[in-house]
Structure 1
């Protein structure tokens, strides 16, 4: 059985939308070769119903729905499941990634559920680029959250007569700075062996569906740091107290940021009358790698907050550094007299230029 697409694209070009072309399902099992391990000249035990593709941040997710065509139940073990993928990949938005480079990976499900292909070899993590292919397989009668599970291992799959299941391939861009946001673009030639059948496909993963930004923002402060007496947006606000040890300062957890983007930081603050010393806000940017964390001095600021006695809104434009991966924000009261209070509410860091980035350079 053969599964092919008629759409073609160029891996080094960023375009908007996912043009998947027209899908063609060929039903002749004889289209497979002996090397494919398919049931040559015999009816297909498993057929491919449809394929779907979506972008997940800087990764691609390709789903193949399969169906058991036999009159009896079918069990396929990990030893009978293999995936081979090959393609020339690039991304013209990303420095060093504009020239297409070959990425070839193979997964034998009995041995592992993931495989890596070097795209840009390098001795250190910041310079290295890889494509990681992950495999997951499940039947439709499994738990409804099966699609959300990470592909850590492949278990045997059981299909009743006429039942369907899913083979999921996830192509992740493994790069310290760009991997979470910029998918590797280019056609992938794919062969999936499932039991006695081998399905062939050409997947045009060459059109970026959207510009990806971090999904996570700053969480709410802990309950013991919030005060319901003062707020801009109910039911409470972050509360700093200079006279209470450990409460004159609060740092939000580091949050991921998209490199090179423009963002708007906004928040409201209220400084109590009688506060002695300085009330300040500070933003810092970092480049995090698996082995280090480096402060990027050009990407931060430290500013005094001076209005006392009324809620005041602050709005600042922030340019995320080209190598930044995370940002940190903190508020503090610096008071030698240990006297003063401050409240902070509606803290947000939002992207400004998603549209401009989507159009490319």
Structure 2
């Protein structure tokens, strides 16, 4: 199937020469070509294949054990895409979502024990009384025919709800100890953003939960009566990418900054990541927000100025692209790109930009069971793309 190639240049030419701000890491840009052609990036040549298209603002992507994909559409639809590109009718049984602004149906994740439980987890913006809303985590059982999600229940809610249409987060990540992480946003507005520093609310936090949505044992504030016991880390702005790095077994996240200052973090229990007290970004008006450092607040592993609009995150572990093994891949929304990051422990040593000429916002990126990378493009006519490795010589 041919992808409707946009042929547009990257939105911000400044990104091609911008210095990468984490520890002097270098930056290189690999310009994408039409899908029928081979893209010669620094270390790996590939072509772009369309798996599915015609998705309206897709947001989250997850693989089922049989190789089919669950994909969310922001308006509230959950669809199943087969490997040959066929899209199912919307799965029934989903709750109503508040799809205003940045809200809607967000991430989706398949339980590690899906073969036994058939549990599917998802996040969405949930309306409350009086125009308020907030991020909610729900789960349900996918019927054997895939047509319906049954016994759907909300198992965790961001608290409290506020009247805002911005910054809901959110990603779902399963950890090896049977717990799960859920990322949130701080709802953006100045009156709300300060709540990311408050431990009695879950705005601008990463929470660690049991599979049933309860605070997980061993959380850092479990014994503090003034804190929410599910909080893992705080001082976050709008975390839209999260993954466990197999190299260290730790949670890593990507976070939207304001005007500049997107972050890659490695959130540790009980630590404060600074927003809105410290940031490498500015207000959208161009005015300063605060300093970039303060004692007692953590520095990012890596940050972007200008912002790329950092979204989905995955660590590549397969063998299909040998030279990319161990790299992190980050979707870009504000600058439509797929950023490949080379790592040395908890340090980014090099960044390469891929898919720049595609002209499509990258909302999510995942590794499929076939060892290939899949990206989700965010538009009114979004799609699922697959990067197919090619044998053409990569450029030096």
Query: Do the two structures share a fold, i.e. TM-score over 0.5?
Result: no
Length-normalised TM-score, structure 2: 0.22
Q: Which has the larger radius of gyration?
A: 1
Length-normalised TM-score, structure 1: 0.23
